[in-house]
Chain A
């Protein structure tokens, strides 16, 4: 089953030894999307390699961003403001929902349920609308920065978010009705590729695949980061560890994610101060002209999207430490300290220089524990950056999982594992 095959997951090659239709032995060949991420990281500064982290697990790009940034924050000991933490939680849960939607859509399409694929893509578009409104890009956003997030939530985000959640709930209800008790789907997925919990732990599985075998391990509950310990949600578990359980665990996780997003949204509305609005402020060119003569403290009107009211929003969204964040544009263009700050941040040999040492931090990605291991030697480039890719360990078990099954069982098994090529091969 060659590297270019209709199952739209990623490029992987499975060589099967068959006896009629049953599989005797198999060999999985990966590496068709090895893009040299780890080697590239040694030649880029810490700030420059944010876009590379987006493109690893490309169905949930904000979570990869988050993992990398939180590892650096652990090393640099930066404290992130509370509103930025809530925004990060909302963004990463939305990414998780879109990850599960894509995985199950592809799995259902390969089993023949094309309608499910179209419904879930429709829901995913609404979620991407929410992400695009705040971050500016649908997929590869580089939104989560060291010290916080890049920009504040859009003033109208509530309506779009409510619509997205409403549409997703409708779609999930439809899909539950279509697939849950569907005889064909059950025949194809129940009791196929059963994985006992000891085998799953031995293989180093984490995430929804491990939870479908019954083991309770979620990084968000075990080593809580951001504000997950202040929100009220549950971790769904499966019992048998077959394909159907992996499907059910993902569906339930999506509902829990939506619960988290709603709570976070309520928290932001109730307790944290709202985003400031722009009134009669100075035009940028005029502000620069005035600042050449004397220092000005008046507010400057910037374009009303990402770069809107930068300095005002900064205490909410970015940490105070000047060494690790990009200074606001008002400062850069109108004062000498700002421009020196900007210069020192971006020039080679300056910029973010963490202390010597190594650090490991993990977040709960769409597939499991996404860990980043950074070794720094005091310069502005990482000496070595290693990513603990969750689906690497899951796919390592594929050879053993499909032994003794039919060729047609490979497709739903492979689909339920959610192999993402960018994460597997880095």
Chain B
């Protein structure tokens, strides 16, 4: 039963459904928030990719968009929010400060959120242009399409 026509077809349909209905939770802290607002509004729309509706609760969303600098004081909160999200979940590190600490290399800033949570897509830029954000969203959608559903009977073996 493993890897036959039905499971691959099912995977692709599931991938298609998931990638076009992403509910994102914007964890906005700093300057990149302005570019996130631009990307979400009329000129560069992320609604046309299906990721329009911002869910204001981590329990109802499947994409965590970490926007802006994460400081050491804020790190436990980010970890809590990530753990509150239900599977399947994806994390996008938006902006150089989230990717690697950015221009701040000092006592107060976490050097990249992959020190705290696992990340799927890294979007560089300070702040990234909205076109970069849309490109990253398309790449994430391709990744979701290729992801295989973890079947329970597979794991038991």
Chain A residues with CB under 8 Å of chain B are 2-4, 6, 8, 10-11, 31-36, 39-40, 51-52, 55, 58-59, 102, 117-118, 121-122, 124-125, 128, 138-140, 421-422
Given contacts A32-B74, A421-B30, contact A52 B103 (CB under 8 A): yes
Ordered by A's residue number, 28 sampled pairs between the chains whose C-beta atoms are within 8 Å are A3-B74, A4-B77, A8-B28, A11-B29, A31-B73, A33-B69, A35-B71, A35-B106, A35-B108, A36-B104, A36-B106, A36-B109, A39-B106, A52-B103, A55-B30, A55-B31, A58-B30, A58-B34, A121-B38, A121-B42, A122-B43, A125-B38, A139-B34, A139-B127, A140-B31, A421-B30, A422-B30, A422-B31
Collect the chain A residues with CB atoms within 8 Å of residue B104's CB. 35-36, 40
Residue pair B103, A32 in contact (C-beta under 8 Å): no
Collect the chain A residues with CB atoms within 8 Å of residue B126's CB. 140
Does B114 count as interface, using CB distance less than 8 angstroms?
A: no
Additional A-B contact list (5), CB under 8 Å, known A35-B106, A39-B107, A118-B41: A6-B56, A32-B29, A40-B104, A121-B37, A139-B34
Bound CA–CA A102/B34 (angstroms): 9
Residue pair B107, A36 in contact (C-beta under 8 Å): yes
Does B17 count as interface, using CB distance less than 8 angstroms?
A: no
Residue pair A10, B31 in contact (C-beta under 8 Å): no
Residue pair B41, A3 in contact (C-beta under 8 Å): no
Most central of A32, A33, A124, A422 by chain B CB within 10 Å: A33
A-contact 0/1 string along B140-152, CB 8 Å cutoff? 0000000000000
Given contacts A3-B74, A140-B126, A421-B29, contact A35 B109 (CB under 8 A): yes
Does B27 count as interface, using CB distance less than 8 angstroms?
A: yes
Collect the chain B residues with CB atoms within 8 Å of residue A102's CB. 34, 37
For the complex formed, measure the closest distance between the CB of A32 and the CB atoms of chain B, giving whole angstroms. 5
Residue pair A10, B73 in contact (C-beta under 8 Å): no
Collect the chain B residues with CB atoms within 8 Å of residue A422's CB. 30-31
For the complex formed, measure the closest distance between the CB of B70 and the CB atoms of chain A, giving whole angstroms. 9
Given contacts A4-B27, A34-B73, contact A40 B42 (CB under 8 A): no
For the complex formed, measure the closest distance between the CB of A42 and the CB atoms of chain B, giving whole angstroms. 11
Collect the chain B residues with CB atoms within 8 Å of residue A118's CB. 41-42
Collect the chain A residues with CB atoms within 8 Å of residue B35's CB. 138-139
> Whose C-beta in chain A lies nearest to the C-beta of B26?
A8
Bound CA–CA A34/B81 (angstroms): 20
For the complex formed, measure the closest distance between the CB of B97 and the CB atoms of chain A, giving whole angstroms. 8
Collect the chain A residues with CB atoms within 8 Å of residue B18's CB. none
> Whose C-beta in chain A lies nearest to the C-beta of B78?
A4
CB interface residues, B 94-118, toward A, < 8 Å: 103-104, 106-109
For the complex formed, measure the closest distance between the CB of B124 and the CB atoms of chain A, giving whole angstroms. 14
> Whose C-beta in chain B lies nearest to the C-beta of A48?
B103
Residue pair B127, A140 in contact (C-beta under 8 Å): yes
Residue pair A139, B71 in contact (C-beta under 8 Å): no
CB interface residues, B 2-37, toward A, < 8 Å: 26-31, 33-35, 37
Collect the chain A residues with CB atoms within 8 Å of residue B68's CB. 33
For the complex formed, measure the closest distance between the CB of B85 and the CB atoms of chain A, giving whole angstroms. 12
A-contact 0/1 string along B24-62, CB 8 Å cutoff? 001111110111011001110000000000101000000
> Whose C-beta in chain B lies nearest to the C-beta of A132?
B129
Bound CA–CA A116/B96 (angstroms): 30
Given contacts A8-B28, A10-B29, A421-B29, contact A125 B106 (CB under 8 A): no
Bound CA–CA A31/B73 (angstroms): 8
Bound CA–CA A33/B42 (angstroms): 28
> Whose C-beta in chain B lies nearest to the C-beta of A39?
B106
Collect the chain A residues with CB atoms within 8 Å of residue B103's CB. 51-52, 55
Given contacts A10-B29, A58-B31, A139-B34, contact A35 B69 (CB under 8 A): yes
> Whose C-beta in chain A lies nearest to the C-beta of B77?
A3
Most central of A55, A421, A422 by chain B CB within 10 Å: A55
